[in-house]
Amino acid sequence: MTSAHPSFASIAETHLDDVYRYLLYMTANPSTAEDLTSETFERALSRWDRFDAKRGTAQTWLCQLARSTALDHFRAEERRRRREERVAEPDRGAEIELPDEYGPVLRQALRTLSAADREVIALRIVLEQDAQTAARVLGISPSACTTRLNRALERLEKKVRPRLVA
């Protein structure tokens, strides 16, 4: 493969952490994030012939696929929850046990923010994407992306400021 169109294996190796971190923020569940990351790369492999480096970076393309995979997961979860609600007391779900190595700020973000807030933080702060790239993944305008990020950070900062000060 030429440098203009790298191999899928090298793309997967380079961007695995990005995809995992993004999905971890979206799902707030490490094991679900792992499953969805694997599923994302399976999808990416099946659509590898459609990837065009001229239209966007591999990271952007993978994040778009990851988002689509996560949305499918959320829809399926919602359908499952609705089915369960019809026959039994709704299970609000026990608080997810996050591994010990997760820091307090990350724990707070994952537990208190919505998936919409978490994903914009993941793209803009953790993956350090610019507003235009993140907006492309989210399917919104760059200004709307920036507004969404500011609001999400504002909410998170209120929760974690005491810890940061300490």
Partner 1 sequence: MSPDLATTLRSETPAAPNELRERVALVAAAPPPPPRRIFSLRRVAMVGGSAVAAASLAIAVGVGLKTAAVSDPNVQSFSAEQLPRQPRAATTVQEGEANAVGPLLDANLQRSAAAPAPTPGRAQDYTAALTVLVDGTEDLSATTQRALRATRRLGGYVVTVRYGAPEPTEGSATLRLNIPVSRVQAAIVQFSGLGRILAQETQITDLQQSLDEITRQIRRLERSGGSKEQIAALRRKRAEINRRAAFATVNLDLTTHEPEQKATPPSRFDRAVDDATGVLAAELAIGAYALIVAAPILLLLGLAFAGSRAYRRYSDQRLLERA
Binding residues for partner 1, rule: CB under 8 A, are: 8-9, 12-13, 16-17, 19-21, 24-27, 30, 34, 37-38, 41-42, 45-46, 48-49, 71, 74-75, 77-78, 99, 101-106, 109, 114-116, 119, 121, 125-126, 128, 139-140, 150, 153, 156-157, 160-161, 164
Residue 129: both structure tokens together? 């994407």
Residue 55: both structure tokens together? 């239209």
Query: Rounded CA gap, 17 and 37, in Å?
Result: 9
Q: How far is the CB of 69 from partner 1 (least distance, A)?
A: 13
Count of positions (residues) in the chain: 166
Q: How far is the CB of 127 from partner 1 (least distance, A)?
A: 9
Q: Which is nearer to partner 1, 22 or 60 (CB)?
A: 22
Query: Rounded CA gap, 113 and 90, in Å?
Result: 21
Q: How far is the CB of 122 from partner 1 (least distance, A)?
A: 8
**CA nearest neighbour of 40 among 12, 11, 66:** 66
